[in-house]
A = this chain, B = another copy of it.
Amino acid sequence: MSVTPIIDCDIHQRLKSPSDLFPYLPRHYVEDIKSFGLRMPGGGYLNGGDRGYRSDAWPTEGRMVGSDLDLLRQQLLDVYPIEYGILLGQELRPTSSLPDADYAGALATAYNDWMRDHWLDQDERLRGAIMVAHQDPIKAAAEVRRAAKHPSMVGVLFPNGARMPYGQRYYDPIYQACEDLGLPLVLHTGSEGVGINPAPSPVGYPAHYVELRQGRAMGYQTHLASMIFEGLFERYPSLKVVFVEGGYIWLPTYLWRLDSDWRALRSQTPWVKKAPSEYVFERCLFASQPMETSEGAKRLLQIFEWAQAERTLVFASDYPHWDFDSPELALPPLPEPMKSRVFSENAREVFRLERREVRAPAAAGPA
């Protein structure tokens, strides 16, 4: 039986405890954490599911969800034909919204080394994205160059939440490192409206988690327009960007809007050499989860065609979160070559992964 290999672009691994980081942190931060905890900024919103996760992903014996590599193997890596899984962290992702850039930078470094020792070096299927504290772009770029020496580091991780849109030159030292090392920028939702970031919407703070979730796409849309109209893709001609967990089906109509506005206003940004959609189709990828599967295959496939999914869509499960998308059910049946592009080829290209042999597991692959 032919198996479609899967590269899962969004897996979340957690610390068993903040003390997991202590071997990698300067002593004074260890003492601070013992006294005050990690102090990750939060917004006070609910999440979904069982405390944010799949109920069955909580290990027995009171351990922290997402902290058990064996369970990740049993529930994801060994169940589906996973060629690679990209680890995008969890509780430290608001690091770039901390007020203290030095502490944030130390946390990012500790996280990268902890992920290397406890995850990347423990399973040949796992890859990771380098966390940085972009409060200090020069130090963050140095951390990218340091951490990227490990061959399993395949991207640089930014949260969606930020003080400034990601096309602005403030971030250029980090992008120069990405360009030099061939690492894509990987955006993951989160940190909108927390810590030193502005409100999570242009009109303040919505009240409920279901509303807050809608700000994910808004952050991504702002970053995307900023990258295009600040000329980021002209400044860094090989840089690619992967947008994770901020939606996909908004993409076509957003590009029609950007293209229309660019045509009407392009004298104001003459360094933008071509239509916004062209940059996006060449340089940007979007992870599938959470997909709006309740809308039915016909509508989704029309959107996929408009969005050029065979170039722009990568699969993500979001394991072990409550809104996990199973490889079998996440997407409507896709025609080839779209299917293999979406489930593995697009991700293999952007993350520069060597092809691995994948054996057929017990569970089926994509429909």
Contacts and interface: CB of A to CB of B under 8 A. Distances in A.
Contacts of A263: 294
Interface in A210-256: 210-211, 213-215, 217-219, 221-223, 225-226, 229-230, 247, 249-250, 253-254, 256
A214 B258 CA distance: 8
Given A205-B164, A219-B203, A223-B203, A214 B295 contact: no
Interface in A161-193: 161-168, 192-193
Given A292-B260, A306-B299, A206 B218 contact: no
A356 to B, nearest CB: 33
A256 B204 CA distance: 23
A199 B202 CA distance: 6
Residue from A211, A217, A223, A250 with most neighbouring chain B CB atoms (10 Å): A211
How many copies of the shown chain assemble into the complex?
2
Interface string A97-138: 000000000000000000000000000000000000000000
A326 interface: no
A254 B200 CA distance: 17
B165 A203 contact: yes
Contact of A198 (B168, B203, B294): B203
A345 to B, nearest CB: 25
Contacts of A303: 253
A269 interface: yes
B211 A229 contact: yes
A214 B290 CA distance: 23
A165 B221 contact: no
A209 interface: yes
A160 interface: yes
A39 interface: no
A256 B207 contact: no
List 8 A-B pairs, minimum CB-CB distance, nearest first. A201-B222, A198-B199, A218-B218, A249-B253, A256-B292, A211-B225, A202-B219, A162-B203
5 contacts: A160-B203, A210-B261, A218-B221, A260-B290, A260-B294
